[in-house]
Amino acid sequence: MSLTAFVPAPSAARLSPQQIAIAATGAMLAPMLPTAIAVVLDPRLLNGASLWLKPLHFQMSLAIHMGTLAILMPFVSHRWRESRFVRWPMLAAAFSAMVEMVYISFQAARGRASHFNESTDLEYSAYLLMGIGAIALVVASAVIGIAIWRSTPANRSSFFRQGAAYGLILGSILTLLIAGYLGGLKGHLIGPVQSDAFGLPFLGWSTRSGDLRVPHFFATHAMQVLPVLGLIADWRGDRGGSWLMPSLTTIYTLAVAAFFAQAMAGQPLIPM
């Protein structure tokens, strides 16, 4: 790749892409304890569940997301890390994560929904902007995955490096597909029971209806699962050859597709 993507930005005191990811991770972790306390102390409910569960889930998820990018950044070559191709998406992702977290928490404090809320022009616009921010988050992940893939010499490839590249790219694609479909609906539940009151402990996934948050969860967390599987394969000294990580990636993709089909059929992951 040529063009200006690899033209370094001015080197005046600026955060590296890894430092940006670390700072964003800290920003997501900081409000988790107050939010968890709010879950316990604030009795208000939204659609049958605590108002503060969604902010807590998003804070945790975004912290894991940005933390993953920070951990995997050293596998990106210095040339790529210093390029605008990596730096700008990381800045956009960090900014989007922080704005999304603030808005979701603000809406919870007001007793209002942040997602699927088109009640007012302002909330409708904010929901659309959150969708754009979510795209920025997954694009950054895909960029880092591509950068790891392109930065890895053939003779130094490991299952962990392959898992990192596959996980970030696959997780980004699956998340865009499922979240994009979910964003066009009126809610995340498919079936007769449209209340979050009947959810699994903490996770909140419905036990009475199909819940599209389940495939969304597994799609996004391919970014962590596949690198961990690669790390385990390296630690065990597996000799699966070039087919091991592609095979695991295919199996994982099929599992996410099965979770999606199950939710669309109105069936909960764990009926109770």
Token output for 44:
């208000």
Sequence-distant (6+) residues with CB within 8 A of 100 are 58, 62, 130, 133, 134
pTM: 0.89
pLDDT at 11 (0 to 100): 44
47 Ramachandran zone, left/alpha/beta (phi>0; psi -120 to 50): left
3-class SS at 114?
Answer: coil
Listed residue (190, 182, 184, 180) closest to 265, CA to CA = 190
- Is the Cβ–Cβ distance between 149 and 126 less than 8 Å? no
Averages of pLDDT over runs of 10 residues in the chain (272 residues) are 39 77 96 96 93 96 97 92 92 96 95 92 93 94 95 74 96 96 92 91 94 97 96 83 90 98 96 87
Enumerate the β-bridge partners of residue 210.
Answer: 190
pLDDT at 131 (0 to 100): 93
pLDDT at 94 (0 to 100): 96
Domains of the chain by start residue, with CATH = 16-151 (1.20.120), 158-272 (no CATH)
Phi/psi at 261 (5° precision): -65, -40
CA angle 211, 214, 219 (to 5 degrees): 140
Alpha carbons within 13 angstroms on the beta-carbon side of residue 15 total: 14
Q: Which ranges of 111-158 would DSSP assign to H, the alpha helix?
A: 121-151
What Cα–Cα distance (Å) separates residue 195 from each residue in 5, 9, 13, 16, 49?
Answer: 47, 49, 50, 44, 8
pLDDT at 241 (0 to 100): 74
